[in-house]
Structure formats: structure tokens, C-alpha cells
Amino acid sequence: MANMNMIQALNSAMDIMLGRDPSVVLMGEDIGYFGGVFRATEGLQRKYGEHRVIDTPIAEGGIVAAAIGMSVNGLRPVAEIQFADYIYPGFDQIASELARIRYRSAGEFSAPVTIRTPCGGGIRGGQTHSQSPEGIFTHVSGLKVVMPSNPYDAKGLLITCIEDDDPVIFFEPKRLYNGPFDGDPNKPAVPWSSHPKGQVDEGHYTVPLGKADIVRGGADVTIITYGTMVYVALAAAATLRLDAEVIDLRSLVPLDVDTICSSVRKTGRCVVAHEATRFSGFGAEILSIVQEECFWDLEAPIQRVAGWDTPYPHAFEWEYFPGQARVAAALKAAMEVA
């Protein structure tokens, strides 16, 4: 075991997969010689060469399309989209092509591509470096969608995704790259070295898709969340002295419905929290599932915490971010009704 931040854990996952499987290639803007703007691929081109860790033009549509073609020819590309906000030029290739090649060819062709992309706010990124577009991709049939919340899971999940024969969009909450963040920007940053999930196995291991993690067991209320909001939810519940059960989904598609529903059946109360915008967000899907599966076990209406339905503003970052106060208000509402 070694201390790793999330960047180092992701780097280790790619390092291991490049070493184990000659069909794995990395590609993306600035990822080769430079090692990536967030350093996730640092040292990998030096170690594996320019033909396996490939710098690309600034053309996300071209990157995704080329990755598809490579995967059809037997490679396993891991493509980095530098920011999730930049993924839209590649959207047609993702939604109409990548997601459907297995389906439309009746399984004759497939495209095992992993697309890594940093998402989320809290880094003063403004409206083009802060978005959380995961819900757009969960709506596309044929894509798996993953978002880890800590270094240990990030490495195990990324290895699983690279080994998976289906395409995966792998979102990395960039505010968590260097440490867990509870939503309070005024507190000193906490490094991953002080967190148990910053202890990462240096070898090959996997974390399965479709298996949520119960980050904290509890009896009062279930908080269903993922990414940065895991830590915000934990902090808000602690402040309110609630015995909350906090579920980190880790993978949105496939979704661990069983873990969600057994928890809500136990607590009878449910709060769903994500950083992405609220309207038609992934939280709405969770809400529907809980309502469909657990209606008669609910003691109170399900509450939803999300980013406001505006672009992510530069100057009002902390008014926008769904911090502890917004989670606490939702928790209180979920607890108040008898």
C-alpha cells in the first residue's frame, strides 16, 4: 500500500494497464510529452513511448472518432477529454457511434473505449471548466458512466473500465484530485494522505461497476450521492448530528438499485445530492426509482440537492455550489415530517 492522491492513483491504473496489456493506448490533448494538464499521465509517455501515449490535436470529435476506429481494430484506447466541459464536440461520436456500435452491428463489432474526463467545480473554473454533465451521458443507451470519489476507488474503477468490453465515460471530480473536500472553501485543504481511501494498493486490483459503496452506515436517513458531494453530505449530516447512511454510487450506469433500496427501506428517509444542475439531472432518476420501489417505506418526501439551473458562474462559485447548508436544509426537510 502507498499514499496516493487521486491523480497518482489514476496514473497508477493507466501505468499498470499499459504494462499488462499491449493493446492499451492513451490519447488526448497534452497527455503525452507534458503528462496532462492535471498530470494524470505524467511519465507514461517516457515509460511506454510515443506510440502508446499519444498527443492529439485539439479536436474532441476527432479524438473520440479515432479512439472508436482504434478499438474496432483491436486496441483499447483510453482517451482523455481535458475538461468535461470540452466533451460536446465529441458528443455525436459518443452518443450516436460509440454507444451503439455493438448494438447496430448485432455484436459483430464493438468499441471498448474509456473516456476519462475531469468534471465538477470548486476550482474557480468558471462556466467552461466546472460542469458536471454526467446526466447527459446516463441518458444514452449503451454507455457506462462512472464517477469515483477517492483514490482507492478511482484506481480500481479505472482498471475495471479499461478491461471492460463496453464503452465507459469516466468522470473525475477534479476538486477531489488532491484531497477530500467537504464544501467549505475557507477551511485548509485536507490531503489524501490523511484519509484511509488515500491508501492505495500499488498493484493491479479492480472495483466492480454497478456496486455502490456505503461510506457510512446509519439509521436516520439515506443520502444517495457520488463524487465531491460524498464529503459534503458526510459533513452536513455530522453537523446536524444525524445518523445518516451515506451511499456513494460510484457507477451511475450500471446502477446499484439494490443497495439504494435496501437502505431507504431501512431508514424511510432519503436525500439525493449531486453537484450537477437539478432539472432533468441524474438525481431525478434516483428519485423516481426510490419512489417506484420504496414508496410505502417512506416517512417523508424525498429531497433533492443539486447545483442551480444556471451556468456555473465564476464570481458566485460558492453561492452556486451545493454546499453543506443546502444539504443540511434538505436533511432537515427529510427529517421534519413525522
Q: Which distant-in-sequence residues (6+ apart) come within 8 Å of 88 by Cβ?
A: 60
| Least distance in angstroms from the C-beta of 66 to other proteins | 3
- The Cα 331–Cα 259 span in angstroms is 20
Q: Which of 69, 185 has the CB closer to other proteins?
A: 69
Taking the complex as a whole, the smallest distance from the CB of residue 112 to other proteins amounts, in Å, to 9
Q: Does 93 bind other proteins (CB under 8 A)?
A: yes
Interface region with other proteins, contact rule CB under 8 A, candidates 56-64, 273-281, 302-310, 312-320? 56-64
Nearer to other proteins, 88 or 308 (CB): 88
Q: Does 45 bind other proteins (CB under 8 A)?
A: no
Contact 25, 70 (CB under 8 A): yes
CA angle 315, 230, 132 (to 5 degrees): 50
| Exposure on the CB side of residue 310, measured as CA atoms within 13 A | 11
Catalytic residue, candidates 129, 139, 204, 314: 129
Task: Establish whether 204 is a catalytic residue.
Answer: no
141 touching other proteins, by CB under 8 A? yes
What would the grid cell of residue 193 be?
Answer: 494522505
- 199 burial type by CB count under 10 A (0-12 exposed, 13-18 middle, 19+ buried): middle
Of positions 4, 18, 44, 67, contacts other proteins by CB under 8 A: 67
In the bound complex, what is the minimum distance in angstroms from residue 74's beta carbon to other proteins? Answer: 7
Residue 52 binds other proteins (CB under 8 A): yes
61/218 with CB nearer other proteins = 61
| Residue 106 beta carbon to other proteins: minimum distance, rounded to whole angstroms | 4
- The single residue among 37, 39, 110, 126 that binds other proteins, judged by CB under 8 A, is 110
**Residue from the set 4, 17, 18, 75 that interacts with other proteins by CB under 8 A:** 75
Q: What are phi and psi of 77, to 5 degrees?
A: -75, 140
User: Minimum distance between the CB of residue 258 and other proteins, rounded to whole angstroms?
Assistant: 8
For residue 6, the Cα-to-chain-centroid distance in whole angstroms is 12
CB nearer to other proteins: give 102 or 326.
102
Amino acid identity at 81: I
Using CB under 8 A as the binding rule, whether residue 292 contacts other proteins is answered as: no
Least separation in angstroms between residue 232's CB and other proteins is 28
For other proteins, which residue of 118, 125, 142, 156 counts as binding (CB under 8 A)? 142
Size of the site for other proteins (CB under 8 A): 44
Active site positions, annotated:
129
Applying CB under 8 A, the residues found at the interface with other proteins are 25, 51-52, 56-57, 59, 61-62, 65-75, 89, 92-93, 96-97, 101-110, 141-142, 144, 165-166, 210, 253-255, 257
